Amino acid sequence: MNSQDSKIIYVESCPICGDGLCRVRICVSNQMVTGFILCDECEAMWTDPFMQERIPTISEETEPQCPNCEQSIWGKNTHWANIGEVCLLGWFDRVQMVDE
Amino acid sequence: MVQKQRQDAAINALRMIPTKWAVIIVVAIIGYVLLQPQVNKWFGWSLPSVASLVGDEKPTSKTKQEKPNSVEKTSTPKSDSKQSQAAVEKKSDQDDSRSKTPTAQPRVSDQQVGAEPPSEKFHGILVEIGRNRFESPAGLVYGPGSEEGHRLKHIERHLEDQPKRPGLHGVFDGDMHAFLVAIDDAYSRAKSGGKGTKKIPDQGSTIYEASFAKPIGFLGGQEGGRKRQPPLKKLRVVVRGNSVITAFPFQ
Ligand SMILES: [Zn+2]
Ligand SMILES: [Zn+2]
């Protein structure tokens, strides 16, 4: 919930579970910022907001991981992207915003 | 009469021993009388009082000591401590405002669930199997995870509408206990391929869907509001292995 101004920034409703919102998740690790798309309901993941390429979960036993550093997508290094981060990723024209 | 005879016998016995020893014994008895209550208090012992030894008083110190240790502990519901451990319980029996809508799973009181006393189970149905991990009768595990920090906290979001949330938001009509019962029911039926169910594998997770005879909730969120919150009769459960990721009613 680190998004500024209490806005939900999302790409679209989740095509997998139907109820979730596909949102931009940020992981900051080893001075590297990784952005990916994560459904806030079913935890399905995509590499970018075009949502063509899924990021697979390694196994049934493993929690979904950041594709870069392999830490948990809910770890302390992660947060929902704010609008500045979405711009830096070049994804601004792919997202929608609503008040939380 | 019996007490008087005992006291006479004690005095006669003292007369038969040397004066020096009699004094020591009397001092020891006085010391015991004075110190016995304090020693019991300090060390938690249950030394009988002289009066009880002589027969003037029944030894009650033992029963008084047992009370705080056993009765109070067992009378504290186990679920309360779990509740604080898991820190996942916000509300369990509220949100009755929408009880006009019939539920497929009638609200079951805690007393009706299983043979164990209700206090043994979290939300009246879950058994703690590890630190912050709870298992349902159907074998579903609710553990740490999700944005909320715990899967139970996450699915609790589906007990209330989020009218401003974009898209769909399935809302279960009932409390957490009824929700968990419905999730178990849907999962069990869908896993065994029951009628009106689906099982969809999806990259490390599995989506189970099951229909209910009556509405179990309604469609919320912005989209649900636009459609005037139609009742929902299906439940979707997303699991990874046997761990619940999320669950919600859907159209
Ligand atoms: Zn989803
Ligand atoms: Zn990372």
Q: What is the pLDDT of residue B135?
A: 97
Domain final residue, candidates B53, B73, B88? B53
ipTM of the complex as predicted: 0.91
Mean pLDDT for B88-112 is: 37
- In chain A, whose CA is at the least distance from the CA of B155? A41
The stretch B56-61 carries a mean pLDDT of: 38
Q: Which of B149, B168, B204 sits opposite A13 (nearest CB)?
A: B168
In a domain, B24, yes or no: yes
pLDDT of residue B40: 54
Residue B204 has a pLDDT of 86
User: Sorting pLDDT into bands at 50, 70 and 90, what band is B248?
Assistant: very high
Q: Is A8 on the interface with B (CB under 8 A)?
A: yes
Query: Is B72 inside a domain boundary?
Result: no
Residue of A nearest to B162 (CA): A100
pLDDT confidence of residue A98: 93
Instruction: Specify if B47 maps to a domain.
Output: yes
State how far the Cα of B133 lies from the Cα of B141, in Å rounded to an integer. Answer: 7
Q: Which domain holds residue B237?
A: 113-250
State whether B125 and B25 are in the same domain: no
B170-218 residue pLDDT tens: 999 999 999 999 999 999 999 999 999 999 999 889 999 999 999 999 9
Least confidently predicted of B2-16, B99-113, B223-237: B99-113
Q: Is the pLDDT of residue B143 over 60?
A: yes
pLDDT at B60: 35
Do residue B147 and residue A1 have CB atoms under 8 angstroms apart?
yes
Indicate whether B123 and B22 sit together in one domain: no
Residue of A nearest to B222 (CA): A98
Q: CA dihedral in degrees (B209, B210, B212, B218; nearest 10)?
A: 0
Are B123 and B230 part of one and the same domain?
Answer: yes
- The tokens for B123 are 């939300």
How remote is the CA of residue A15 from the centroid of ligand 1, in Å? Answer: 7
Structure tokens at B2: 């019996």
Band of residue B233 on the pLDDT scale cut at 50, 70, 90: very high
Does the residue B58 lie in any domain? no
Q: How far apart are CA B80 and CA B58, in angstroms?
A: 37
Same domain, B44 and B136: no
Give pLDDT, residue B107.
37
Residue A30 exposed, middle or buried by CB count within 10 Å (0-12, 13-18, 19+): exposed
- Is residue B78 within 8 A of residue B120, CB to CB? The reply is yes
In this complex, is the C-beta atom of B226 within 8 Å of any C-beta atom belonging to chain A? Answer: no
pLDDT value of position B120 = 81
Domain match, B46 and B118 both:
no
Instruction: Output the average pLDDT for chain B.
Output: 72
B159 and B40, same structural domain?
Answer: no
A44:B145 CB<8 A? no
For the record, the structure tokens of B57 come out as 């008083």
What distance in Å separates the CA atoms of residue B208 and residue B201, rounded to the nearest whole number?
Answer: 9
Task: Give the pLDDT confidence score for residue B213 in this predicted structure.
Answer: 97
pLDDT at A46: 98
The b/e string for B109-119 (b: 16+ C-beta within 10 A; e otherwise) is: ebeebeeeebb
The least confident of A32-36, B39-43, B90-94 is: B90-94
Give me the residues of chain A with pLDDT under 70, please: 1-5, 59-61
Within-domain flag for B208: yes
- The pLDDT of residue B179 is 98
**Does A78 contact chain B (CB < 8 Å)?**
no
Question: Is B180 within the bounds of a domain?
Answer: yes
**B161 and B37 part of one domain:** no
Q: How many domains does one find in chain B? A: 2
Note whether B117 and B232 are same-domain residues. Answer: yes
Residue B86 lies in a domain: no
- Whether B183 contacts B244, CB under 8 Å: yes
Q: Is A61 on the interface with B (CB under 8 A)?
A: yes
Residue B27's pLDDT is what? 61
* Binary contact (B238, A17; C-beta < 8 A): yes
**Interchain contact A98–B (C-beta under 8 A):** yes
Whether B118 and B8 share a structural domain: no
- Position B35 scores a pLDDT of 64
Looking at per-residue confidence, does B202 or B101 come out higher?
B202
- Whether the per-residue pLDDT at B98 is higher than 50: the answer is no
List the structure tokens of B52.
């009880």
B118 and B220 fall within a common domain? yes
| pTM reported for the whole predicted model | 0.67
Is B104's pLDDT higher than 90?
no
Last residue of a domain, one of B37, B53, B69: B53
The residue among B53, B79, B95 that closes a domain is B53
Q: Is residue B87 part of a domain?
A: no
Q: Which residue has the higher pLDDT, B120 or B115?
A: B120
The larger pLDDT score, comparing residue B45 to residue B176, is at B176
